[in-house]
Amino acid sequence: MARVPEFAIKPNPDDPRLTARVDGVDQNGQPIETSVTVERPLTLFLNDQEVVTMMTIGDYPDYLAVGYLINQNMLEADDEITGIDYEEDIDTIVVRTKAQTDFEDKLKKKTVTSGCAQGTVFGDLMEKFDDIHLDPDARIKTSDLLALLKKINTAPSLYLEAGAIHGCVLCEGDTPLIYMEDVGRHNAVDKIAGYMFLNKISGRDKIFYTTGRLTSEMVIKTVQMEIPILVSRSGFTAWGVDLARQAGLTLIGRAKGKRFLALSGQERIVYDLETDDVPDEDEPSGRGTRRA
């Protein structure tokens, strides 16, 4: 496959389907009009079996559906998808495979996770976790990391327009490749997993960035995509750190401006930049609010 260009997919905050304008007042009681993120249900079928109804912003439903099935181990790498049928008027998507898939036992093991927008994970989600070996030779330079953070945090996004959303970015070196957003971080990562599966993109030389917390779910999904480095502007959970160390995943959190913490896989980090002269990052302000 040809090399994926920088921001081959990126948020489109001007898409009228993804935000709505709402009237309100500010802290001084002054009338304002602001953008809010739209969410809608999407019911996923695998062949003839209903799997789940997800709350999503509604862009890239094909990638979301396939990525969800991949990350829940309902689709294998060698499964052949024969069709993806999206019916926008009834908020339904059907993924069809050449071979029938039997996953009723997985549905019985469904549990609620800590993800926003009622994320779900199945009881046997970790069935392949111990069998995946991440590339020990993968590296991330501190200069590349800081360049990535700047590119991602200054790119137009629904986060800047309306907030109430998570973003995930597939990266290589200092280049952000695929930038997805959704109301739950699990949806954003599933969209990227679906894109990688459908376009046959390997994760072994990639970096994964998320705005969300570094939880067990995020670690598991990153490992399943065989991505050796996971970065977040947010913090860690203890189980997320434990699983990252178990898998040999490089886990970098609280990454803002020139600052970050690495709690697992520090041997992949190449310190090639003196950070004293790098300014701290200013939190970007939303552009979607104005006085009414």
Mean pLDDT of the chain: 88
> Per-residue pLDDT tens for 212-243?
999 998 999 999 999 999 999 999 999 999 99
Domain that holds residue 253: 140-284
**Residue 277 confidence class, pLDDT cut points 50, 70, 90:** low
pLDDT exceeding 70 applies to what percent of the chain? 85
Among 58, 92, 124, give the residue marking a domain's end. Answer: 124
Task: Give the domain CATH number at 60.
Answer: 3.10.20.10
**Residue 161 confidence class, pLDDT cut points 50, 70, 90:** confident
**Residue 122 confidence class, pLDDT cut points 50, 70, 90:** very low
Domain co-membership, 113 together with 79: yes
Domain count within the chain: 2
Is the pLDDT at 75 greater than 80? The verdict is yes
Task: Decide: pTM greater than 0.75.
Answer: yes
3-state secondary structure the chain: CCCCCCCCECCCCCCCCCEEEEEEECCCCCEEEEEEECCEEEEEEECCEEEEEEEECCCCHHHHHHHHHHHCCCCCCCCCEEEEEEEHHHCEEEEEECCCCCCHHHHHCEEECCCCCCCEEECCHHHHHHHCCCCCCCCEEHHHHHHHHHHHHHCCCHHHHCCCCEEEEEEECCEEEEEEEECCHHHHHHHHHHHHHHCCCCCCCCEEEECCCECHHHHHHHHHCCCCEEEECCCECHHHHHHHHHHCCEEEEEEECCEEEEEECHHHEECCCCHHHCCCCCCCCCCCCEEC
Domain for residue 9, yes or no?
A: no
Domain for residue 218, yes or no?
A: yes
